[in-house]
Amino acid sequence: MNKVELLAPAGDLERLKIAFTYGADAVYLGGEIFGMRSAAKNFTIEQMAEGVEFAHERGKKVFVTVNIIPRNEELDQLKAYLLELDRINVDAVIVSDPGIFTIVKETIPNMEIHISTQASTTNSLASNFWYKEGAKRVVMARELSFKEIKEIRDNAAEDMDIEAFVHGAMCMSYSGKCVISNYTTGRDANRGACAQPCRWKYTLVDEVNPGQYEKVVDEIDSSFFFNSKDLCMIEYIPQIIESGITSLKIEGRMKTAYYVATTVRAYRMALDEYYKNPTDWKFNPMWLEELKKGSHRDYSTGFFIDRPSEKAHNYDSASYIRNYDFIGIVRDYEEETGLYIVEQRNKMNVLDKIEVIGPFKETVNATILEMYNEYGEEIESAPHARQIVKIKLDVKVDKDYMLRKPIVNIRTIK
């Protein structure tokens, strides 16, 4: 059986390595130019080369976004950039603009090309057009149902890959086509600088007379009218695979390493269980609970099942729900002392009851028994960001395992 690909976001080199460690088959990332996430840290060519080497040593792949809608003057540096990507052996470039597509074919003809979701491919004719022009993969528009994707699959060449987003933030407009950010802030969504005004709070009024306004809804002062819930399809693994999707894409190049680890880990477990027994796969609620232990908005199924109703938006808040703190990541182990070297990410204390997650492992409960600073001095807490500490736990863990603890009063973050 040909297994589907689990495709993860990589905002920087750390997140790339975490994605592969926790079970991703491939990552997508952006360089310092031509990508749709200018607020992400993104990669220099040197960092990208290190990431590609890390991936290829493990039989994994790296795809690079070149998916902005460019102006003429922006094309001048494109050829040199593409040649650099080819030199470091990236596995594919992701494009949406026909001009960039043409330059890729002319400059690096052996490079695999993926058509970005920004191209809004919603039908068989469009996907087949791109395939005949030389694209290996088409990323479906996020506005398609299982039924529509299956129709595209049934009318496509057998070796054409179909990729689709299955988890993460949703756009309130046709993906990438909103211009509210341009209008309100001058930040261009089609160059990766969206200010996300869909997450802002608005008041709906009606002009009853020139310059006189009346609230349309009296019960509330304002609301998050355009605030889409996040997409989460982990309960629908069989339907995803049966629809013909060959790559399951997780959104989130601007999200944390902890988000990448928890999300990839949950989908990896769900997919691995499916392939053990496809005809008798059962959804495990633990996978969804794991996804909820990272920062998230309320979840929906997007367009996959049916067109979204008003229930696909959260009108009360645009904040993320956060019920756990990511407190540290294990960097090494000292055999002589039995202590784990941990890079702190949020405050931790001796005797904290915590959870430990690792790749391909069940979640483990643990207690921090002892803690020392980098000089070997015993301490009671680690309050400083990215502080290096040595801790003793009552369980065995390994490098790249992540530590978290529940927040007593669940909070939301903007």
Task: Provide the pLDDT for residue 221.
Answer: 58
Q: Which amino acid is at 341?
A: I
Residue 51, both tokens: 């990431």
Q: What is the pLDDT along the chain (414 residues), one digit of tens a residue?
A: 689 999 999 999 999 999 999 999 999 999 987 765 554 468 999 999 999 999 999 999 999 999 888 889 888 889 999 999 999 999 999 999 999 999 999 999 999 999 999 999 999 999 999 999 999 999 999 999 999 999 999 999 999 999 999 999 988 887 767 888 888 898 887 766 788 888 998 888 888 888 888 888 766 556 888 889 999 999 999 999 999 999 999 999 989 999 999 999 999 999 999 999 999 999 999 999 999 999 999 999 999 998 888 788 888 888 888 999 999 999 999 999 999 999 999 999 999 999 999 999 999 999 999 999 989 999 999 999 999 999 999 999 999 999 999 997 655 555
Contact criterion met (CB below 8 Å) for 223 and 256: no
Whole-number Å distance between alpha carbons of 382 and 113: 46
pLDDT at 412: 56
Q: Domains in the chain, ordered, with CATH?
A: 5-172+228-312 (3.20.20.70), 324-406 (2.40.30.10)
3-state secondary structure 299-345: EECCCCCCCCCHHHECCCCCCEEEEEEEEEEEEEEECCCCEEEEEEC
